[in-house]
Amino acid sequence: MRKVMGTALLVAAAGLTIEYFAGVADFPTIPPGPFILGIAGVLVLALTRPRWPLVVGLIAALFVTVGGLIEGSVWHRIADPGEFADWLGVVLQWTGQVVAIVAGILAIRGAYFSRVRALGARSR
């Protein structure tokens, strides 16, 4: 699940980058989303031993997802495939974010609960 999560974060970052270069209205001059998701994805994929990158990746995906839902323009862009680059970017972004959140929850559950089970088995 770690690889799925890291890859999904990078896909979401790529989607945001496509939206930026396609000229989506009201994008900040330097959008933070691609950096947040990209760095989190690299951490998740590069640091395979520690468990904390999984938490960082999940928080990053949730942060950008909640921010996008509050901002609200995603529904217009996803419903209008007439602007193909905008539409492709938003589909990649949101698919990546949803997959990253689900994979992150499963990866964290596996990483933390497998350790608890292993410690419990050792104490017997």
Total Cβ atoms within 10 A of residue 47:
15
State residue 86's pLDDT score.
Answer: 84
**48-90 pLDDT, tens per residue?**
889 999 999 999 999 999 988 888 777 777 777 777 888 899 9
Question: What is the reported pTM?
Answer: 0.86
CB burial readout 102-115, b (16+ within 10 A) else e: bbbeebbeebeeee
